[in-house]
Structure 1
Amino acid sequence: MKHKKDWNRQPAVDAAGDKIMADQNCAPSEVTAYQIAVELGCSANSSIHEKTTDWCRRRERESELAHIELPAGAEEEYRKVLTEGLEKNMQAFVRMARLIGATMHQSAHIPVMAANRRAEAAEGRAETALQICKKAEADLEAAHAEIETLREQLAEAEKQSWRLQGRLEQLQIEATKASDRVHAEAANPVEVVAPSEAQPSKADAEGSEQQQTMEFDLPDDASS
């Protein structure tokens, strides 16, 4: 249902009168304000009467216009012109549509190309980062291996240090003992007998006697 503010407008009255005239196949003067009011669903007030009169007057003037008959072939010629114009317009429309489509495709392709370039750049950066990570992992493994080697060398050096420390302590003990002996000998000196004054030992005396006996027992040939 139409809004109340749209009931009394002239275009609504004109449309209602044209519909009634077409449905009843009657002249404009035969259409009443009451019929138009019923068609519009409102009361036949003075506004409806005024607009119905205005509609009827305009439609009667239009019907009084002289009808001109078209010459033979005019309709066909007009149809041909319309057809050719339609064909040209259609061709122009197709060209325009293709141009618009190409422009839209190009416009849409530009962001795609830019996105592809950004994706390729991102892939390049990712590959570079991956190579850096691989090198860092290799360097880390090498560093771990070197640390392990240094730990082994340090453990061996500690063992050597303990051995040297033990040897040093042993030498210190021996040096202390030697020092103690030297101090003890210095505190208790031993008398030394000169070689010319020393008495021959029993073994030296027996050896001297044996040598003399051998000299006396030699044969004559040996003495000569």
Structure 2
Amino acid sequence: MGISAGVMLGAVCFSLINPAISLAEIKYTNKLTVASYIALFVFLGSFGISYLNKKIPHEHFLKGKEGGESKALKRIWLFILAITIHNFPEGLAVGVGLGSGEVKIALPIIIGIALQDIPEGLVVALSLKAYGYSNKYAINATLIAGLAESFGALLGCLATTISNSLLPAGLALSAGAMLYVICGEMIPELHRSGNESKATTGFIFGFILMLFLDVGLSW
């Protein structure tokens, strides 16, 4: 998870906020206006995901008869729901990047998100398998968790395709949503695992990896 968090933060800094600022500077000449515009949508993005986290009834996602009542199993389902919710801003970022029509914006985001989605999907499937769920059920649950990302990508792509003027706002909104996931969910979880040093190293590695992806693919 440390590497995933680092990759996501790198995507926020290099592939979302930087292009958002550059595009907003075309629209507005005043630097303070640009900063305020980007800050507003970063805040709205983080507030939106925070609201979802508080309002969605996580317990409803527990599998009744098959799921059992153990606390460990409940934590697994809450983890799966958290991933499902967090997949939406990741998909939104991908969709906005694609809607921009700029390969140098879209490609680093797609690769970065894909790199951290693979271990997440494996964790979901293997966790369910460990509690006796069938292969089919584990695969289907993993796919359903990923649907939120597809929906976010479609929404982001449609919005920015319809109006290019929405692109800087969309990038900043996606950045804010992902920032909340990183700071509010992933980093606290890293420090609860008891492997803070390894997690921090992974976080830095993920951030540097995203830096190389963004700069390298922009050539």
TM-score, normalised to structure 2, is: 0.16
Task: Select the structure of larger CA radius of gyration.
Answer: 1
**Larger helix percent:** 2
